[in-house]
Amino acid sequence: MARPQRRTTAAAGALSPVTLSVFDLDRTLTRLPTYSRFLLFAARSRAPWRLLLLPLLLPVALLYALKIVPRRTMKQAMHRIAIGRALPQREAARLADRFARRLIADGLYTESVALIERERAAGRRIVIASAAPHLYTAALARRLGIADVVASASCWKNGFLTPAIEGANCYGGDKKLRVEAFLTKAGIAREAAHIRFYSDHASDLPIFEWADEPVAVNPSKALRTIAAARQWPVLDWRAGR
């Protein structure tokens, strides 16, 4: 079914809408998923012996694959094994920044960085919206000159990073709710905004359908099928595509 055209001005002569370009992170801006890479990077940097504990994740991974436990449970178990139950805030910030530097060096599609710069040059407000932890997503955003980040919030206790996720995992329908909350906090009325959304995965369908301009980037098989059926633009930067 065709998505109805959304009006972005209340009446003729109204002010131009606020224009935003919202980007997913993993496999949209980055070549590979980032969460596992960050945890492995943290374990190798701090306590390589923790890598020997990875087999302990197998039962949780099986339950997750069978859809018995949710994604947040799997993510929290991975964090606990790789980083531990309490990481000092200063050390967490250093790890996040070092990991962000690594992503800048060799983890991003050059085309994604160029696209962000074109959108910025066109006067659009850039937002990263990801299920990845805010800890390193924000560090990466700072290095890309992006001020606005919507991501899964880490849980801090007495100045230490814990494995828990604060609030909802920023994924699927929850990501859409988080982006809507961001607009509200920023004082941007939805009807006064023009939103262009970029993502690689069909789990972001709630935001794709809510956005004014959905763009599939390096799409998964399911998203490619949806994009073709709905005539959404497709960008594919993967080698040989």
In the chain the domains, ranked by start, together with CATH numbers, are: 18-235 (3.40.50.1000)
Question: Could you tell me which of 117, 115, 145 has the C-alpha nearest to residue 233?
Answer: 115
pLDDT of residue 17: 86
Q: What is the rounded distance in angstroms from the CA atom of residue 103 to the CA atom of residue 93?
A: 15
pLDDT (0 to 100) of residue 38:
97
pLDDT at 240: 65
Q: How far apart are CA 221 and CA 226, in angstroms?
A: 9
pTM of the model: 0.90
pLDDT at residue number 93 = 97
235 forms beta bridges with: 217
Along the chain (241 residues), what's the average pLDDT of each consecutive run of 10 residues? Answer: 44 69 98 96 96 95 94 95 96 98 97 98 98 97 98 96 94 97 97 97 98 98 98 93 65
